Amino acid sequence: METRTALVTGAAQGLGQEFARALAARGCRVAGLDARKQPETAGHIADYLELVADVTDEAQVADAVEGVIDRFGALHILVNNAGVYPACAFEDTTVEEWRRVMRINLEGPFLVTRAALPHLKAAGWGRIVNIASAAVFTAPPTMVAYTASKSGLIGLTRALAAALGPYDITVNAIAPGMTRTDTAERTVGADGGFERVRARQIVPRTEEPRDLVSTLLYVVDEGSGFLTGQTLNVGGGSAYI
């Protein structure tokens, strides 16, 4: 895929960093977009384009996507990975927090996809991958806002797939389980979240970022053009217990 250009949001750490590195190893030219600088990601990828932007800011997103075109001349793969997942009882969730989660997790992919779409159409080939969550299927009671936002992202995936099929652009979602990242350790790991999730899984270990790589590469592969509108649940079987 050395002729393909990929844009990954939330690329500074965790899954985004793992996805950026995997796409570069597959031969893609890679740009990473994050609200903060990405020295660790950039240090692992040659010719990496680091874009600092807020996915909820329409103007910043537009400038970032134009930066990809200026640098690489085209865009073929978009991975909407940036997201937040605060744990909070529903009755303690403020309107401001609800809106923040929806803006980052759902409006962000909308804005980035809308900015990228003219370039995917111009390329005549595209892959859009939205990172959802197995929480949509397991419905953790302390993550109502997060689960609602990721459910919306799956709906966006299905509707966009129907709209973009005629342009040879596929749209799919990947739904990870609770994955061991620095952010997850801080937000849900400290109170035994990993242990509770692991107890519900068929695969009896904690998910790592590398566990998602093969699924991502499958979805964006040249030969996966007949796969679209789907949500691939990669949660160690947690949704089936």
- Active-site option among 146, 167, 218, 240: 146
User: Using alpha carbons only, what angle is made at residue 176 by residues 80 and 16, rounded to the nearest 5 degrees?
Assistant: 40
Number of residues written out for the chain: 241
Rg (alpha carbons) of the chain, rounded to whole number = 17
Annotation marks residue 146 as catalytic: yes
Sequence-ordered list of residues with C-beta below 8 angstroms from that of 77, at least 6 positions apart, any chain: 4, 5, 6, 7, 23, 28, 126, 127, 128, 129, 220
Tokens of 91: 């009755």
Residue 85: what residue type?
Answer: Y
> Which amino acid, 4?
R
Partnered with residue 231 across adjacent β-strands are: 173
Mind telling me the catalytic residues? 146
